Amino acid sequence: MEIVGDNTCVTSVVPKSKTVLCRGKPRKYWMELQFVDENNVPVSGLNVSLEYHPLATAAEVAASKRFGKDGYDPTPPPNPPVGVTDSQGLVRFDNLYWIGVNVKADGQQLADEMEQRPLGVRRNPNSQPESKNRSRPATRDLTWQSDVQKKADAAGQRHHYVTIGQLCDRLPVIDNWKENEPPRFHFPSGDVMKGTPIAREGLDQRHVIEVCPFRAWSLVLHDTKDYSLANGYNLGVMADMAYAKGGDTVIKQFFFEQCLDLSRTPEYIDFPSFSQALVVDVPFSQRYTAAEFLDSAGKSGGDNDRPLLDSTQLFYIENAEQVVVSWRGTQELPDWLTDASFSPQPCPAELAKAGRIHGGFLDAYHLAKRRFDAQFSAIRASLAKDGKKKLFICGHSLGGALGLTYAAEMKAIEPILYTYGMPRTFTADAVGRLYQVTHYRHVNDSDTITSVPFDANLDNWLYGKFGPLGATLGFFWALTTELPAQMGGLYIGEHYWHHGKPVVFFRTTQTGSFEECRVMMNPNTCRRLKYSQQYKVKLFLVPSMAETESEEAKEAQEAFISEFPMADIQKIFPRNTNPAFDHASNPARHSMVKEYLPFLNNQLLEIADPERKLGRKTYRADFRQQMDTFGDSSPPEELKRNRMFLALQDMVGNSLIITRKYPGGENALIRFKSVAEEEVELSN
């Protein structure tokens, strides 16, 4: 461009305008845009358009109007033609004016393509939407750089990290999206499609545009009959979440906000436990579409029923592959009273064709079923639809008993049930008819609740002893007066049995003994004294892993069986009841948040991150050392048992093989270990 005439200007008292002529064409600029996903894989065949920024803002135009006659026209030149990205994800624009542009892409095409791209492992903390919650503001880290960004910087290219909402030229169709506003994370500016701005200083350069895939988080839950630690951990977090006092608000925040926010993995904080969910990314269309908390308090009964004041709570969630129903345990006083009404009732036919069920649990179950008939019917319809969704059920304490009852009703579709510290629920005859339910029953050492009701026909016994009141007072009597001791040999009639395969958190001790003699060297004055040795260790025992059918675990399993015959295992872990513990029954072992969850968290962390130093590993090493050093003075049976326990503990890692093979599973574990911390395993 050439300027004709004198373009200098001298300020005078009476300024006059001066006309300068331009001849020839202005210089043109180029720009290259490369579209990639978080794994630096190009996005090809994408229709990309540029929009020039207006030449001035409305305020500037108004200001100029005040001085000049007509102001000036801020309309930019016509936009350059649309480009299409090549196999490198690259599109080049030439002949651009020296004006800033907004980069936009075909919204539907972009959304469809980015749904299929997996996320990179590391999450960008700076992509999180503005927090609505003032007490938890968004946390950003401006020094954070993605792998794509490091590469672009090294090549001297400009880098932009964007979500699809920052590129879309129109709102794509989102299946089943019922909100007025589009999803906040992917569409940070709502339904205004502004595009990604590039200032004119960015012309004559290549820009790498890293697009966050259009994905959502989904809990890692495996449809397997074998024990899965991923299931054990995630369903444990769900069982704990059923206790949330905020109910609906907490559940919805987790599944509809955190699970759609890809700047970090979802977490559930229930002090002192900080549970980082183990999640994989799935296409946005497979996200959670239902998350409902149901509380029967405040709901009256059926049509001609009187309002009841006690309550049962549960929540359910649903996405493309899973339906999770989580039952709350004992929360309010009336709930506890249901534990006291021991009387076993004949099983309704839909649960089991024979046997009996704990009367209090049945009442609590029926309460929920009756009040939420519409929701339960919807869950059934949804599970029947295309048969792709797996039903997972979980619960802690009474919630476990309700979960098992629900699983009994749904047994035809073979649900997967994980319970934590559940009491006995059904009698032997009924338990035998629930074989279709894959059930892993977590028992935290000597948790009292897992040993009530006792596995004898306690009801009859109490009735015989105390008359009609016996059954009512039974539970409290039992706890305070240690009934089981009095009941030796009373195993008659229908017994309460535990269902499912146990997963036992066993606080193991080693017994030592020494001889004490009153007169030195005189064996007649000696006696043997027993004591518990210094190091105790809590072990994660999954006896069923000795009988797993998975190919990968076969070798470890065969080695285990050759050392510890099945008969020995079954002796220590008898079917349908708890093993004998080294510690006395203790209600403090029952806490989900202080006992079960931290232990699951630490076990998962240990396997996900084998390099990490953990207190629990040190304790175990000490215990092994103690066994080697003082083994001679321990009872041989106990020594053998403890060796078996340690071998079982070493096998727990195999329960994550399925997770590592699952699409995105390895990344899920990497993300988990980058945010999780070792927690205190023993609350007191």
Partner 1 sequence: MNCLTKTLAALFPAIALLPLSGCASRLDYTLNPPVSNDWVTVTVKLPQETEALPLDVLYRSETCRKEVYDNTSESHMATVRGVNPQLVSLSQTDSSGYREAKIALNGGGKCGWKLSGIRLGIQLSKTSALANGKNIISTSYVFDFDDEGYRNAFGYGNPKNVVGNLRFETDFFPLIQSHRDGEMVITLFGGDIRDEKWKRYYRVSSISKIVIEPSIHMSKVVRVVPPNSLPGDLIATYPDGSTGILPYIYPDYEKLLSMK
> Rounded CA gap, 505 and 616, in Å?
13
CA angle 227, 233, 237 (to 5 degrees): 140
H and E: helices and strands count for the chain: 20, 28
The Cα–Cα gap between 279 and 573 comes to: 32
**What are the distances in angstroms from CA 614 to CA 338, 542, 647?**
41, 21, 19
Contact between 258 and partner 1 (CB under 8 A)?
Answer: no
Q: Is 479 in the site for partner 1 (CB under 8 A)?
A: no
Question: Could you say whether residue 386 binds partner 1 (CB under 8 A)?
Answer: yes
Q: Which of 108, 265, 146, 157 is nearest to 670 (CA)?
A: 265
Nearer to partner 1, 35 or 365 (CB): 365
**Interaction between residue 469 and partner 1 (CB under 8 A):** yes
Q: Does 206 bind partner 1 (CB under 8 A)?
A: no
> In the bound complex, what is the minimum distance in angstroms from residue 661's beta carbon to partner 1?
23
Pair 168, 111: CB distance under 8 Å: yes
**Taking a C-beta distance cutoff of 8 angstroms, is the pair 300, 371 a contact?**
no
Residue 575 near residue 497, CB atoms below 8 Å = no
Which C-beta is closer to partner 1: that of 91 or that of 410? 410
> Among the candidate windows 28-36, 54-62, 143-151, 332-340, which touches partner 1 by CB under 8 A?
332-340
The reply on whether position 254 binds partner 1 by CB under 8 A is no
Q: Does 498 bind partner 1 (CB under 8 A)?
A: no
Q: Residue 517: helix, strand or coil by DSSP?
A: strand
By CB under 8 A, name the one of 39, 44, 109, 382 that touches partner 1. Answer: 382
Check residue 275 for interaction with partner 1 (CB under 8 A).
no
Nearer to partner 1, 239 or 280 (CB): 239
Q: Is residue 349 at the binding interface for partner 1, with CB under 8 A as the rule?
A: no
Tokens of 469: 């009141």
Strand-strand pairing, 322-327 and 390-396: parallel
In the 3-class helix/strand/coil scheme, how is 287-356 assigned residue by residue? CCCEEEEEECCCCCCCCCCCCCCCCCEEEEEECCCEEEEEECCCCCHHHHHHHHCCCEEECCCCCCCCCE
Q: At closest approach, how far in Å is the CB of 591 from partner 1?
A: 6
Stretch binding partner 1 (CB under 8 A), from 118-126, 171-179, 519-527, 549-557: 171-179
Pattern of binders to partner 1 over 403-442, x per CB under 8 A? ---------x------------------------------
Sequence-ordered list of residues with C-beta below 8 angstroms from that of 524, at least 6 positions apart, any chain = none
272 binds partner 1 (CB under 8 A): yes
Binding status of residue 647 toward partner 1 by CB under 8 A? no
Which of 22, 78, 25 lies closest to 49, judged by CA?
Answer: 78
Q: Which two tokens stand for residue 465?
A: 């002893």
CA distance 145 to 125: 10
Nearer to partner 1, 204 or 409 (CB): 409
Phi, psi angle pair for 274, to nearest 5°: -115, 95
* Identity of the residue, 27 or 385, whose beta carbon is nearer to partner 1 in the bound complex: 385
User: Which of 424, 326, 406 has its CA nearest to residue 366?
Assistant: 406
Scanning 84-92, 229-237, 297-305, 625-633 for contacts with partner 1 by CB under 8 A, the matching segment is: 297-305
Binding partner 1 (rule: CB under 8 A), the pick from 10, 309, 519, 567 is 309
Q: Which of 184, 371, 424, 498 binds partner 1 (CB under 8 A)?
A: 371
Comparing CB distances to partner 1, the nearer of 22 and 473 is 473
Q: Is 271 in the site for partner 1 (CB under 8 A)?
A: yes
Q: Is 455 helix (H, G, I), strand (E, B) or coil?
A: coil
**380 interacts with partner 1 by CB under 8 A:** yes
Comparing CB distances to partner 1, the nearer of 178 and 518 is 178
Q: Which is nearer to partner 1, 490 or 593 (CB)?
A: 593
> Residue 416 forms beta bridges with which residues?
392, 438
By CB under 8 A, residue 146 contacts partner 1: no
Q: Which is nearer to partner 1, 19 or 176 (CB)?
A: 176
As a whole number of angstroms, the distance between CA 280 and CA 277 comes to 10
Binder to partner 1 among 94, 201, 373, 555 (CB under 8 A)? 373
Select the residue interacting with partner 1 from 38, 169, 210, 240 (CB under 8 A). 240
- Beta-carbon contacts of residue 190 (< 8 Å; ≥ 6 apart): 181, 182
**In whole angstroms, how close is the CB of 544 to partner 1 at the nearest point?**
27
Is the CB of 3 or the CB of 473 nearer to partner 1? 473
The answer to whether residue 288 forms part of the interface with partner 1 (CB under 8 A) is no
CB 546 within 8 A of CB 560: yes
Among 388, 518, 527, 528, binds partner 1 (CB under 8 A): 388
Q: Which is nearer to partner 1, 273 or 626 (CB)?
A: 273
Binding window for partner 1 (CB under 8 A); candidates: 50-58, 166-174, 306-314, 509-517: 306-314
Nearest to 295 by CA among 262, 341, 239, 246: 246
How many residues are present in the chain? 684
Q: Which of 297, 490, 526, 614 binds partner 1 (CB under 8 A)?
A: 297
Using CB under 8 A as the criterion, which residues of the chain lie in contact with partner 1 when the complex forms?
A: 176, 178-180, 240, 243, 245, 247-249, 270-272, 289-290, 292-300, 303, 306-307, 309, 313, 330-333, 337, 340, 371, 373-374, 377-378, 380-382, 384-388, 412, 469, 472-473, 591-594
